[in-house]
Amino acid sequence: MRDAAQAAEAATTADIPFYVPAGSECTLFMEAHRHRLPLLLKGPTGCGKTRFVAHMAARLGLPLHTVSCHDDLTAADLTGRYLLKGGETVWVDGPLTRAVRDGGICYLDEVVEARKDVTVVLHPLTDDRRVMPLDRTGELIEAPANFMLVVSYNPGYQNVLKSLKPSTRQRFLALDFGYPKPELEAQVVASETGVDHDTAAMLVGLAHRIRGLKGVDLEEAVSTRLLVYCATLLKAGRPLDEAVRAAIIEPLSDEADVKDGLAEAIAAILG
Ligand SMILES: Nc1ncnc2c1ncn2[C@@H]1O[C@H](COP(=O)(O)OP(=O)(O)OP(=O)(O)O)[C@@H](O)[C@H]1O
Ligand SMILES: [Mg+2]
């Protein structure tokens, strides 16, 4: 009996996506969920936001509905629309409506990309009303207790046109994500790829130095995701210079002089 229980426990743990916390973000997420507060995650690309949400949804045993927002995404894309089906018009729920009906976590990735009319839908859902009015059908859907809205965006790409209005931002608890501290990032790289700790620490050290480089014109710094890619290539037996070029230099820039500068700096760092 005990073995069966232990096996069940192990299976459940194995189903939870691996996530190394940087601080108290897991507890904060739990509290946000418990108190029915929406959560905003900010941070650069590839720093673990999506993984964190997947991890927390699994830990809470909740379904995760993810919507990747883009600049054409309208409120109707999220809420739903009438479609013609076999000569009849039928209402088809959008992903946000489905999430509100079904409960669980709805994750709007890169929310600032979406059209401005999306905020009209988010406001009644993210204050204490927690409702979703569907004007087209006349329905008013109340979010179930386990519903939680999580949105993320990357402040690095932010411009005046693409930022959240204060009246939207101030409806969310917010967490600022950065790249994990070196020892945690090495743990992530090693666990994700199976490279040994020294290799992981070497890559993280390299990333740390690249992130600190002055005078290299990069839009975004090298992410934890790219370090995981680089370690994956090394684990597969590819040589270091090839892995670094394919997983770090080329994804970071298209400019020949920037890439040359990076390659030189990396060669100097690696000695
Ligand atoms: N704290 C962490 N624990 C475990 N894995 C991590 C962590 N941080 C980053 N990773 C690794 O980095 C990869 C990229 O993370 P993720 O996809 O969550 O980034 P993101 O912040 O959502 O990026 P984007 O803004 O581009 O969507 C993950 O697939 C995982 O391998
Ligand atoms: Mg993501």
| Residue 26 alpha carbon to ligand 1 centre in Å | 15
Measured from the CB, is residue 55 less than 6 Å from ligand 1? no
> From the CB of 43, is ligand 1 less than 6 Å away?
yes
In a domain, 7, yes or no: no
| Residue bearing the CA closest to ligand 1, atom 8 | 48
The closest-lying atom of ligand 1 relative to the alpha carbon of residue 41 is: 21
Cβ(187) – ligand 1 distance below 6 Å: no
Closest listed ligand to the CA of 53: 1
Question: For tokens 């009996």, what's the residue?
Answer: 1
Helix (H, G, I), strand (E, B) or coil at 67: strand
Pocket test for ligand 1, best of 19, 40, 51, 112 (most atoms within 8 A of CB): 51
- The backbone region for 266, taken as left when phi is positive above 0, alpha when psi lies in -120 to 50, beta otherwise, is alpha
* Rounded CA separation 26/207 (Å): 25
264 Cβ contact list (under 8 Å, min separation 6): none
77 and 97 assigned to the same domain: yes
Q: Are residues 93 and 155 in the same domain?
A: yes
Domain boundary among 176, 193, 209: 176
Residue identifier of the C-alpha nearest atom 9 of ligand 1: 48
- State in Å: Cα 52 to ligand 2 middle: 9
**Do 122 and 196 share a structural domain?**
no
Which of 123, 157, 176 is the C-terminal boundary of a domain? 176
The reply to whether 4 falls in a domain is no
Closest residue by CA, ligand 1 atom 10:
48
Token pair in block for residue 193: 């790829």
Q: Are 235 and 125 in a shared domain?
A: no
Residue 5 lies in a domain: no
Q: For ligand 1, say whether the CB of 210 is within 6 Å of any of its atoms.
A: no
Structural domain includes residue 133 = yes
Nearest to 211 by CA among 44, 22, 20, 41: 44
Instruction: Indicate the number of domains in the chain.
Output: 2
What is the reported pLDDT for 59? 97
Same domain, 86 and 214: no
Q: Are residues 134 and 235 in the same domain?
A: no
What pLDDT score was predicted for residue 4? Answer: 55
Residue with the smallest CA separation from ligand 1 atom 3 is 19
- DSSP annotation of 92 reads E
Query: From the DSSP assignment, how many helices (H) and strands (E) are in the chain?
Result: 13, 9
User: Is the CB of residue 91 less than 8 Å from the CB of residue 137?
Assistant: yes
Name residue 83's beta-bridge partners: 90
| Residue 188 near ligand 1, beta carbon < 6 Å | yes
For atom 24 of ligand 1, which residue has the closest CA?
Answer: 45
| Residues of the domain holding 191 | 182-270
Residues 154 and 200 both lie in one domain: no
Asked whether residue 31 falls in the same domain as residue 140, the answer is yes
Segments in the chain below pLDDT 70 = 1-14, 157-162
The pLDDT assigned to 171 comes to 94
Same domain, 51 and 170: yes
Question: Ligand 1 in contact with 42 (CB < 6 A)?
Answer: no
Last residue of a domain, one of 153, 176, 199: 176
The response to whether residue 147 sits with its C-beta less than 6 Å from ligand 1 reads: no
CB 233 within 8 A of CB 246: yes
The domain that holds 103 is classified in CATH as 3.40.50.300
Q: Is residue 90 part of a domain?
A: yes
Element (H, E) at 148: strand 148-153
Are residues 100 and 143 both part of a single domain?
Answer: yes
User: Does 203 lie in the same domain as 158?
Assistant: no
Are 229 and 207 in the same domain? yes
Whole-angstrom Cα distance, residue 200 to residue 187?
A: 7
160 φ/ψ angles, rounded to the nearest 5 degrees: -60, -35
Q: Could you give the CA distance from residue 1 to residue 128 in angstroms, rounded to a whole number?
A: 45
Residue 132 is classified by DSSP as E
Residues 244 and 266: their CA atoms lie apart, in Å, by 9
d(CA 172, CA 198): 40
Under 8 Å CB-to-CB from 2, ≥6 apart: which residues?
A: none
Task: Summarize pLDDT for 6-50 with one digit per residue, the tens.
Answer: 555 555 666 899 999 999 999 999 999 999 999 999 999 999 999
Name the amino acid, one letter, at 36. Answer: R
pLDDT at 1: 44
